[in-house]
Structure 1
Amino acid sequence: MPIKTLSSSLVLATGLIAGNALADSNAQRATQQVQQIRNATVKITYGDTTFLVDPMLAEQGVYPGFENTYRSELRNPLVGLPMPVEEITDGVDAIIVTHTHLDHWDDAAQELLPKDMPLFAQNAADAELIRSQGFSDVRILDGEVEFGGVTLHKTGGQHGSDTLYAVPVLAETLGDVMGVVFEAPGQKTTYLVGDTIWRDEVEQTLARYNPEVIVVNAGAAEITGFTGDPIIMGKQDTLRMHQAAPNAAIIAVHMDAVNHMTLSRDELSGYVQEVGIQDRVSIPADGEVISF
């Protein structure tokens, strides 16, 4: 082979090897994990960026039960954290607070989390409240934003039925909520549904983004006097989510940690087996990591 041809071949081969090595390196870096911490608190790692969502970090039994809700005589959280707070916050790049109810943003989180860490809130009112608690880098997730190579899309929902929101005091208490869709090159599109019941906004999000991973708050929490009218999704909604997105991996959270949840992990586990969707639905224990 002529030297020039040999040289060209070596350059090409070297380039291919380098390119493959870079691709392998990128593939190794492009990790995606969802870690269930406790309740609605999850830690989502998306490539090189890690988000802590809805941190409730208090020790077991610190708070009284939520008034006028199911099992309000119990103290919250019902269980302790599965690991030290330092381990939970290790590697976190930003915080997402979908709404400021105590079981999504508690006093302990306000005390323990770094005040200068970037934090995304759903609207100006929540952002103002969180700034008043000493946090200096509070950003409003309005539409979509990019952070650390990840595009975050705000999604809609409602924290209960129209019947509940027709009661002014309940409408004020339940308030506004959001979900979040995570997108990044090489990653599975992930939809964190948030504290909502099944609504048009959920179906529209599924149709628009076609998520491959869906994190569902599935504890079917209830308010006293409204039995059977939960303020977040439950087991039938988990099935409905699978029917609407049959190829998605569903991760069910927000159970077994605060008083007003009427659906347990054990009950949901039995249900998904009964309806034959256990291969598509994960119900992680506190501290468990699900990788993609």
Structure 2
Amino acid sequence: MKKVVLMMVFTLSSILSFGQIKSNEAKLQLVRNATLVIDYAGKKILIDPMLSPKGAIDSWAGIAKNPTVELKMPVEEIVKDVDLVIVTHTHEDHFDKPASLALNKLTELIIQPADKGFFKKEGFINATVLEDEKVWNDIKITRVDGQHGTGEVLKQMGETSGFVLQAKNQPTVYLVGDTVLTENILNVIKKFNPDYIIVNSGGAMLRSFGNIPIILDEDQTMALIGASGKAKIIAVHMDALDHCFTTRTILKNKAEVLQITDDKLIIPEDGEIIKL
């Protein structure tokens, strides 16, 4: 009997140890559009939560109401045990009312300076405005300015940010955010030499401003890949909004023409988990 008890204790200890090791492994799940869950340095980080059901938001291109697809998992599962929420900017496809309602107002947030008033109004009391960089639970988080379009449309789109995550024994991850390709982004890649670059590649356009992309499209994504060094590219922000004209299929086809392989460019489906 004593041997049986000892064996059970050993087995339980092994299971718990395995769970702790697994929880410290970096992985990413694409929820939908630009909404991501990243397990990083033992923490669950939620990125840009848009949690509205299909068709709850007005059309932005006159094609269909947004989002154009349903979530693959319950909202409760997405927000459960979240340690940190990072919001690149407060456009409705990156932070919507259902997200504000679903998240505990005590949840820690990291936000850009331009959005301080928005989150105060929404009642979040642990929202940290990140000017440059900070260390949060042994994770260094650096904010990077984005450029949400060019010319007249940029004036309408407002400020947006990207973020770089770094931690001991973890891959360096650069979350580019909503931006077109700029010299600043290329400089950030050179500076941080990231292992993974998460790119919003949907080629979103507002036709009232002359069909000018406000985020990376397939051509700009390929240009970024050419300057990405060792990094693997994870392309998201596709097939969920009516004003995004670069689809997964278009991006895959462009990559095939340029002989960019699947181990360099990863295009996850909604709900898919990627080990980093």
- Relative to the length of structure 2, the TM-score reads 0.89
Cα offsets for 1:123-162 (capped at 9, x unmatched): 0x41221111111111101111111221100011200013
CA deviation after TM superposition for structure 1 residue 89, in Å: 1.5
Residue 268 (1) aligns with residue 247 (2):
no
- Among the aligned pairs, what percent are the same residue? 36
Counterparts of residues 56-135 of structure 1 (less than 5 Å): 56-66=50-60, 71-123=61-113, 125-135=114-124
Q: Could you tell me which residue of structure 1 aligns to residue 203 of structure 2?
A: 220
Letter in 2 for 1:104: H
CA deviation after TM superposition for structure 1 residue 228, in Å: 4.8
2: CA distance, partners of 1:220 / 1:141? 27
CA deviation after TM superposition for structure 1 residue 90, in Å: 2.5
CA deviation after TM superposition for structure 1 residue 104, in Å: 0.4
Q: Secondary structure at the match of 1:88?
A: helix
Unaligned 5+ segments in structure 1 are: 1-23, 166-170
**Matched residue count:** 259
CA deviation after TM superposition for structure 1 residue 91, in Å: 3.1
Q: Could you tell me which residue of structure 2 aligns to residue 289 of structure 1?
A: 273
Q: Could you tell me which residue of structure 2 aligns to residue 197 of structure 1?
A: 180
1: CA distance, partners of 2:38 / 2:22? 17
Residue 30 (1) aligns with residue 24 (2):
yes
From 136, 139, 146, the equivalent of 1:150 is: 139
2: CA distance, partners of 1:121 / 1:35? 21
Maintained 8 Å contact 1:158/1:177: yes
Maintained 8 Å contact 2:34/2:200: yes
CA deviation after TM superposition for structure 1 residue 269, in Å: 1.3
1: CA distance, partners of 2:48 / 2:245? 20
Letter in 2 for 1:190: V
1: CA distance, partners of 2:98 / 2:29? 20
Q: Secondary structure at the match of 1:158?
A: coil
Maintained 8 Å contact 1:49/1:149: no
Q: Could you tell me which residue of structure 2 aligns to residue 140 of structure 1?
A: 129
Q: Secondary structure at the match of 2:116?
A: helix
CA deviation after TM superposition for structure 1 residue 72, in Å: 2.2
Q: Could you tell me which residue of structure 2 aligns to residue 9 of structure 1?
A: none
Maintained 8 Å contact 1:64/1:73: no
1: CA distance, partners of 2:75 / 2:246? 26
Letter in 1 for 2:107: M
2: CA distance, partners of 1:227 / 1:274? 28
